[in-house]
């Protein structure tokens, strides 16, 4: 993996003339890369300079939803929680229905362990942790996950034959799409509700990858929210998202996305049986085509050093005796 510390920092000297206040000065030691530096591995976080040109297959999904049922935490191999040929493409944990989850703040953690797999955890205010693990882990995870699978079956959205067994890392994944939904599903007359989903203390760490841009640490989303994202068009009111994009593969390095999530479903009238999938927080891994790039930090450092030396030479020439 390329990094600022491993890029070849050989330099060459360019001597050329620059006119300063009508005088000609010889400037030396303009520092530039001897050859164009290769782009380093990076994660662009909500950075307009790196955009999603098109979205391809899904690879994985991690989701927390507020539901009248007890199916609220899931980790899937792509395409959502659905039954496919040969079985399910997801694992799940029931953490309580709406009565237990409404206006409760949970801590979440989604992490990739290189060469082993993905772990999605949710911790309650009472420090009860439920975790879902997809992959093979050595040594074993402590505490033991609530549910785990070495392989999950492919859904059609992955682009693989339905039911194909997949291990983490088999499909390239260069985008993480953090999504918040707080929308009102069309209901029968007389049924209504007012959902609010709030993310807080959101953080992304990846020690082996260069990070460009920054995570949005707090978001509150209501049905009236209509946030725009410079990286990709959104789906409309009641929805907000963040994009984390890499020029390599998110399976190739260790990272953790963490934070807190709180969901409320207020002013309920009539049945709430249709709120499933409309009030939720999730992260999906995708295959996307990127547009744009960011410079390698070492390249900028060398260029800026060169500009600094030029400026120093110009100032020195200005004060030489006539």
Distance CA 253, CA 248 (A): 9
pLDDT of residue 316: 45
Q: Nearest 5 degrees, angle CA 270-CA 274-CA 278? A: 120
Alpha-carbon dihedral angle through residues 57, 63, 66, 71, given to the nearest 10 degrees = 100
Give 10 or 168, the one with higher predicted confidence. Answer: 168
Instruction: Give yes or no for residue 2 having a pLDDT over 60.
Output: no
Q: Per residue in 119-176, pLDDT tens?
A: 999 999 999 999 999 999 999 999 999 999 999 999 999 999 999 999 999 999 999 9
pLDDT of residue 93: 95
Distance CA 316, CA 274 (A): 74
What is the residue extent of each domain of the chain?
11-39+296-318, 43-291
pLDDT band at 35 (very low <50, low <70, confident <90, very high): very low
Q: Per residue in 187-228, pLDDT tens?
A: 777 788 899 999 999 999 999 999 999 999 999 999 998 776
Q: Per residue in 242-289, pLDDT tens?
A: 999 999 999 999 999 999 999 999 888 877 777 888 899 999 999 999
pLDDT band at 234 (very low <50, low <70, confident <90, very high): low
SS3 270: coil
Distance CA 123, CA 111 (A): 14
pLDDT of residue 295: 55
Q: Per residue in 91-106, pLDDT tens?
A: 999 998 888 899 999 9
Give residues with Cβ within 8 angstroms of 235, minimum separation 6.
Answer: none
What CATH class is the domain 43-291? mainly beta
């Amino acid at each position: 993996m390329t990094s600022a510390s491993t890029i070849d920092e050989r330099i060459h000297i360019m001597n050329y003339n620059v006119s300063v206040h009508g005088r000609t000065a010889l400037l030396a030691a303009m520092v530039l890369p001897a050859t164009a530096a290769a782009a380093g591995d990076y994660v662009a976080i909500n950075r307009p300079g790196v955009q999603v040109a098109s979205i391809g297959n899904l690879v994985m999904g991690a989701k927390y939803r507020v539901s009248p049922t007890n199916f609220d935490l899931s980790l899937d191999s792509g395409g959502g929680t659905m039954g496919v040929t040969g079985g399910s493409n997801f694992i799940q944990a029931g953490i309580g229905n709406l009565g237990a989850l409404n206006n409760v703040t949970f801590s979440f953690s989604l992490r990739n362990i290189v060469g082993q797999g993905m772990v999605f955890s949710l911790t309650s205010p009472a420090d009860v942790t439920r975790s879902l693990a997809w992959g093979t882990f050595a040594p074993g995870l402590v505490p033991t996950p609530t549910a785990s699978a070495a392989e999950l079956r492919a859904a059609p959205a992955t682009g693989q034959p339905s039911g194909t067994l997949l291990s983490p890392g088999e499909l390239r994944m260069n985008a993480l799409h953090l999504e918040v939904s707080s929308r009102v599903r069309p209901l029968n007359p007389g049924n209504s509700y007012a959902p609010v989903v709030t993310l807080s203390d959101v953080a992304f760490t990846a020690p082996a990858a260069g990070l460009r841009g920054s995570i949005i640490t707090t978001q509150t989303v209501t049905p009236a929210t209509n946030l725009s994202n410079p990286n990709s068009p959104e789906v409309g009111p009641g929805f907000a998202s963040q994009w984390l994009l890499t020029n390599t593969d998110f399976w190739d390095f260790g990272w953790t996305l963490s934070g807190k999530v709180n969901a409320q479903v207020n002013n309920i009238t009539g049945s709430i049986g249709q709120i499933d999938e409309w009030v939720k927080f999730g992260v999906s891994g995708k295959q996307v085509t990127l547009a744009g790039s960011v410079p390698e930090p070492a390249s900028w450092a060398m260029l800026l050093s060169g500009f600094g030396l030029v400026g120093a030479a110009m100032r020195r020439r200005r004060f030489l005796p006539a």
